[in-house]
Amino acid sequence: MKKLIVYQIDSFTKEKFKGNPAGVIVNADGLNEKQMQLIARELNNSETAFLFSPDNNDCDGVIRYFTPKTEVPTCGHATIAAMYAKALEDNLNSCILKIKTQIGILPFEIIKEADDYKVIMTQGAIKIGNPFDKQISDKLIYYLGLKNEDLDPRCPLQIASTGHSKVMIGIKNRDKLNNLMPSLNELSELSKQIKCNGYFVFTFDSKEKDILTYGRMFAPAIGIDEDPVTGNANGPLGAYLISNRIVNPNSGIFEFKGKQGEAIDRLGIVEVKVKIKDGMPFLVQIKGEAVVIFKTRITI
Annotated active-site positions, please? 47
For residue 207, give every residue at least 6 positions away whose Cβ sits within 8 Å of its Cβ, in sequence order, or none.
none
For residue 177, give every residue at least 6 positions away whose Cβ sits within 8 Å of its Cβ, in sequence order, or none.
171, 201, 202, 203, 205, 214, 215, 216, 263
Task: Give the side-chain half-sphere CA count within 13 A for 205.
Answer: 16
Helix (H/G/I), strand (E/B), else coil: 285: strand
For residue 212, give every residue at least 6 positions away whose Cβ sits within 8 Å of its Cβ, in sequence order, or none.
204, 206, 256, 257, 258
Cβ contact 20:79 at 8 Å: no
Relative to beta strand 213-219, strand 224-227 is: antiparallel
Q: Where are the alpha helices (DSSP H) in 69-216?
A: 76-90, 134-143, 174-178, 184-194
50 beta partners: 25, 64
Backbone angles phi, psi at 163, to 5 degrees: 130, -25
Relative to beta strand 213-219, strand 253-260 is: parallel
